[in-house]
Structure 1
Amino acid sequence: MKRKSALVVFSGGQDSTTCLAWAKKHYEHVETVTFLYGQKHSLEVEVAQEIAADFGVANHLLDMSLLGQLTDNALTSDKPIEAEEDQIPNTFVDGRNHLFLSFAAVLAKQKGITDIITGVCETDFSGYPDCRDSFVKSLNVTLNLAMDYPFVIQTPLMWLDKSETWELADQLGYFDYVRNNTLTCYNGVKGSGCGDCPACHLRQAGLENYLARRGQ
């Protein structure tokens, strides 16, 4: 039986689009929320809106550009991407998932929605601390207490690697759609991406692994 309604934190990338497909399968009513946080590539927002329209769901755009003014990272500035071993990559945006989920919760409550879906993942998380299961569970409790409301933060990708995320998209019937229409690339290239940034490397390695397992 489907649950009533959900709000998907939505960037238009591989992970959040797979989560949107998952939500459409498990919920009667689905909406999405996308954030402007000073990211370099406005195409990310355009892609998110296009995908939401393709899925027939409402997309809410929230301005959080102040975040880009407060943080020093490669996603909101022109500095080159650096991902040194045993260090958090400079693509990490301090506070991003914390704030996104918090603002999503405010929006969800106004709409009578309890379930918030996010594509964070601890298996392939690039060392980002706000993608960890412990963080999500902690914030879930905090949000419930802060607003006296029964929020449930759903993380369908939490324990999947990128290969398994591709597999999930395939099982949901959206493999080709995710492959061709999403934007995961840090350099703002849709589909298979630039092929050089860490996000593209992770996505492509997962794809090749899954296709090998699928026998293609």
Structure 2
Amino acid sequence: MSNFQSKAIVVFSGGQDSTTCLFWAKKMFDEVEAVTFNYQQRHSLEIDVAKKIAKELDIKHHLLDMSLLNQLAPTALTRENIDIELKEGGLPSTFVPGRNLLFLTFASVLAKQLNAKHIVTGVCETDFSGYPDCRDVFIKSANVTINLALDEEMVIHTPLMWLNKMETWKLADELNGFDFIKNKTLTCYNGILAEGCGVCPACELRKKRPRRLFES
């Protein structure tokens, strides 16, 4: 049973973190919908996976066009000719400037139209690869700005903010979503479903599972 009468919008990519958040939101809120953004990302399979997961979990799914972001932000996640790499002393080549700011803004506009007061996103400051728009201070700032801009009292929830990847897997297990997330999500930067390529930065983080769950 939900903790309170409420409706939430989950920013949803079809990856491990956002799918864990989807399971979390289903437990916490009475009504849940998901929104995915098409910014012509490196792997269009990401959108197909998000659609499939939302359908399987019986979640109403919205797909919004964010193609302008692709034009403005050439990175390894928007250009196939840019290598995926961690830059020493700088931001990873996978960082898409402004992405989470735009996602939260448009998710909030959608939430206002749907009379939802809660937005859920899977950003995390513990295992965040150096992305500045995954920090708690950014989320709090964005929440204040969005509420002022829309004259609303929305709450941005970040259930993974202070969890490392092992703890995120534990949460997925507690939500009865471990096997689903392990086998049906797309987190790999090289666009390989489930276990992924095993070598990209996203897959290296994904492998940090408790041994008991790893062997399940």
TM-score, normalising length: structure 1: 0.95
TM-score, normalising length: structure 2: 0.95
SS in 2 for 1:160: coil
Aligned to 2:43: 41
Stretches of structure 2 that go unaligned for 5 or more consecutive residues are none
| Aligned partner (choices 46, 53, 56) of residue 54 of structure 1 | 56
Structure 1 position 196, deviation (Å): 1.7
Aligned to 1:71: 73
Backbone CA RMSD of aligned residues: 1.4
Equivalent residues of 1:38, 1:69 under 8 A apart: no
Does residue 178 (structure 1) correspond to residue 144 (structure 2)? The answer is no
Q: For each residue in 1:32-90, what CA deviation from the matched residue of structure 2 results, as whole angstroms up to 9, or x when unmatched?
A: 00000120211000000000011101000000011001112100001111102332101
Does residue 164 (structure 1) correspond to residue 162 (structure 2)? The answer is no
Equivalent residues of 1:44, 1:183 under 8 A apart: yes
Aligned to 1:191: 194
Q: For each residue in 1:70-111, what CA deviation from the matched residue of structure 2 results, as whole angstroms up to 9, or x when unmatched?
A: 112100001111102332101000000000000000000001
The change in CA–CA distance for 1:213 and 1:77 in structure 2 (over 3 A counts) is closer
SS in 2 for 1:60: strand
Equivalent residues of 1:9, 1:33 under 8 A apart: yes
The change in CA–CA distance for 1:82 and 1:109 in structure 2 (over 3 A counts) is same
The change in CA–CA distance for 1:214 and 1:176 in structure 2 (over 3 A counts) is closer
Q: For each residue in 1:128-158, what CA deviation from the matched residue of structure 2 results, as whole angstroms up to 9, or x when unmatched?
A: 0000000000000000000101110000000
SS in 2 for 1:32: strand
Q: Distance in 1 between matches of 2:103 and 2:96?
A: 11
Letter of the 2:24 counterpart: W
SS in 2 for 1:22: helix
Equivalent residues of 1:3, 1:26 under 8 A apart: no
Equivalent residues of 2:35, 2:61 under 8 A apart: yes
| Aligned partner (choices 147, 150, 155) of residue 152 of structure 1 | 155
SS in 2 for 1:59: strand
Aligned to 1:8: 10
Does residue 80 (structure 1) correspond to residue 83 (structure 2)? The answer is yes
Aligned to 1:124: 127
Letter of the 1:20 counterpart: L
Q: Distance in 1 between matches of 2:103 and 2:35?
A: 9
Q: Distance in 2 between matches of 1:137 and 1:162?
A: 22
| Aligned partner (choices 24, 39, 46) of residue 22 of structure 1 | 24
Structure 1 position 212, deviation (Å): 5.3
The change in CA–CA distance for 1:152 and 1:215 in structure 2 (over 3 A counts) is same
Kindly tell me the number of residue pairs found equivalent between the two proteins: 213
